[in-house]
Amino acid sequence: MSGDTAERVKKVIVQVLKVNPAQIVPKARFSNDLGAESLDSVRLVAAFDEEFEIEMDEEGALAIKTVGDAIAFIDKHREKEF
């Protein structure tokens, strides 16, 4: 897991969900632990797309349940671009 990606993911989550940064750990689940509702999930995907200049497909986005999942997905997606 890239430290740079993790820090940027954390920044986006704090901005979108307005949660305490200490709550954002790899095992934290977006809906259960961080309180994300369906609209928040859409906003998170859009924010990740913008922050990392990627495009998350719907299937990939639906598979992301935890902060760690998001970091892994983004790292994998970014590796394909290089």
Could you tell me the domains of the chain? Answer: 3-81 (1.10.1200.10)
- pLDDT (tens digit per residue) in 22-76: 999 999 999 999 999 999 999 999 999 999 999 888 888 889 999 999 999 999 8
Token digits of residue 54: 């990627």
Q: What is the pLDDT of residue 20?
A: 96
What are the two backbone dihedrals, phi and then psi, of residue 23, each rounded to the nearest 5 degrees? -75, -15
pLDDT of residue 1: 45
Predicted local confidence at residue 81, as pLDDT: 62
Report which residue type is found at 16.
V
Phi, psi torsion values for 66, nearest 5 degrees: -125, 165
With 0.85 as the threshold, say if the pTM is over it.
yes
The predicted structure's pLDDT at residue 2: 61
Alpha carbon of 38 to those of 8, 52, 71: distances in Å?
22, 21, 19
